Chain A
Amino acid sequence: MQTLTQRLANPTRFMELSGSVLPWIAGAAAVVIAYGLYLAFYVAPPDYQQGETARIMYIHVPCAWLAMAVYAMVAMSAFGFLVFRHPLADVSAKTAVPLGAAFTFLALVTGSLWGRPTWGTYWVWDARLTSVLILFFLYLGLMALRSSIEDESLASKLTAILALVGIVMLPIIKFSVDFGNTLHQPASVLRVGGPTIDTAMLTPLLVMALGFTLMFVAMHFKAMRNEILRRRVRALQLAQVEKAQASQLAAAE
């Protein structure tokens, strides 16, 4: 008797299911992001202190959320791979890492561009910025470790261990705005006692966050499908090489 996860984790069924769902998710992401951008540029009021620059928030904050959420997903996939040894969990972890690195990079760049007009500097070495930069290096380390080992299954297992070790960074990033002096503003949406941000700005922000998350899911599904196909092609090639070798041996005898 298979559980629901076990049935969904079958690569062939995953290919079927993700193939039929993918266009809808990608379309939904495009629509939601377009609507979110409309809200962010035309509906949301400019900030009374920062003026129009505050609109960078609608890109910056979703990227920063995804930077952390994707790492959590990589770590969960890594855990699933180490415990249940399921190849699909490894496919998920492997393909999410470059996406997470891209979102982290975008969060750093947009934050830096936002910092220049409001703080007067592109970069400060405070806890939040530094810890997000370290998260970016962690993503790079995961990619570097995987690419430096030839044996693919060994590389998967070692990368999974590193991903689990790196999860200690997530709470440090989340709470980095609470300890020490920082220019970065404290948490204003996901906090005890409800959001401190006005609804006129919160709504576009949440719409953009939903849109970016849908975009990540769509890109992740696509990347996972590519990875599964790549592995199948590789397995077929290896089988062909073995077959050719066997027939050569037979011909020699």
Chain B
Amino acid sequence: MSAFLALLKRDLMLSVRQGGALGTALGFYMLVVTLLPLGLGQDLNLLSRIAPGILWIALLLAALLSLGRVFSSDHEDGTLDVLATGRMPLEMVVGAKALAHWISTGIPLALTAPVLGLMLNLDIAVYPLLMATMLVGTPAVSFIGAVGAALTLRSYRGGLLIALLVLPLYVPTLIFGMAAVNGLLGVSGTSAAMLILAALSLTSVVLCPFAAAAALRVQMQ
């Protein structure tokens, strides 16, 4: 367990100190949200109605963008081989790295959502619920994304390919995230959608490390 925590701490420090990964993701998030009203027109009523959807989709894209680096930098400098030969199972290594991705990307993106919501004229009463759905749903984003990052480690078109592989698997998360938000805006079933969203996150936290570790093992033989 201490090895798990050490790896988690290392990855979090790297994400803060090295290369501004967090800043890039946040900047991308804000830019996507800025571009959409320019493309859709400035009708504030329309924007406030579709704001939760815009914020969720922009969050998925921003998280996706940062996924490519989850394993690749450690693969390039050989750290991943050291971790794989160590005593900690590779599944735990994947778990630590995906958890670090969630803490360093998923949580900040979810916390930025209200600021962007203001710019989209989103009703302030929705903010707690919107952030809650994002906080509950982003673990699924990070852990499913880790599978995609592991699968594309050695492919030529890593960045584009990871989007093609992972975005379809994000659809259930997006659907139930939106269902939970829309529950407050009039339709019933918020708590049910929230529970399903939590179930999606917990299931992917448990299952995805096995798939990602299998993909990594195959490539390091």
Contacts and interface: CB of A to CB of B under 8 A. Distances in A.
B218 A161 contact: yes
Nearest to B144: A165
Given A145-B155, A149-B155, A158-B218, A165 B211 contact: yes
A contact patch SS:
helix
B15 to A, nearest CB: 25
Contact of B214 (A141, A154, A161, A169): A161
B147 interface: yes
A140 interface: yes
Interface residues of B, number: 21
B165 A141 contact: yes
Given A141-B165, A144-B164, A172 B172 contact: yes
Given A145-B155, A148-B156, A148-B157, A157 B218 contact: yes
Given A141-B168, A158-B219, A165-B169, A148 B161 contact: yes
Interface residues of A, number: 25
B180 interface: no
A148 B155 contact: yes
Given A145-B152, A145-B155, A162-B151, A134 B219 contact: no
B171 interface: yes
Interface in B151-183: 151-152, 154-157, 161, 164-165, 167-169, 171-172, 175
A208 B211 CA distance: 38
B215 interface: yes
Contact of A154 (B165, B171, B219): B219
A166 B167 CA distance: 12
Give the residue among B154, B165, B172 with the most A Cβ atoms within 10 A: B165
User: Which 5 pairs from chain A and chain B are nearest by CB?
Assistant: A148-B155, A137-B168, A157-B218, A141-B165, A134-B168
Interface of B: 147, 151-152, 154-157, 161, 164-165, 167-169, 171-172, 175, 211, 214-215, 218-219
Given A137-B164, A149-B154, 11 more contacts: A134-B168, A134-B171, A144-B165, A145-B152, A145-B155, A145-B165, A148-B157, A148-B161, A149-B156, A162-B165, A165-B169
